[in-house]
Amino acid sequence: MGLFEKKKPQTIEVSGHALVCPVCSGIYFWSREAQLNTSVASFFNLDWANKSATCFVCSECTHISWFLG
Ligand SMILES: [Zn+2]
């Protein structure tokens, strides 16, 4: 994952809960900000959202967890 190798993975907390990978139970993630494509946002009926999302990529298995806003 060359895109992510500059930063060290870190533990993530969401609404007071430590984020745990549902695939491998890993607790270290890389974080990325992503702009949602407008057509994708419309497809998911997310026009009310600010069209930006945060994704956390598991450092072990690269499973991606997405969070809006
Ligand atoms: Zn994982």
Q: What is the CATH number of the domain that holds 29?
A: 2.20.25
Task: Output the pTM of the full model.
Answer: 0.70
Residue 32 pLDDT > 60:
yes
Note the pLDDT of residue 53. 83
Question: 64 CA distance to ligand 1 centroid (A)?
Answer: 8
Question: 23 CA distance to ligand 1 centroid (A)?
Answer: 5
Question: In the structure encoding, which two tokens stand for residue 5, read together?
Answer: 């190798």
Note the pLDDT of residue 42. 73
d(CA 10, CA 35): 22
Question: 58 CA distance to ligand 1 centroid (A)?
Answer: 5
- Domain of 26 in residue numbering reads as 13-68
Residue 2 pLDDT > 60:
no
Question: 48 CA distance to ligand 1 centroid (A)?
Answer: 30
Q: Is residue 4 one of the residues assigned to a domain?
A: no
Local confidence band at 34 (pLDDT 50, 70, 90 cut-offs): confident
Q: Is residue 17 one of the residues assigned to a domain?
A: yes
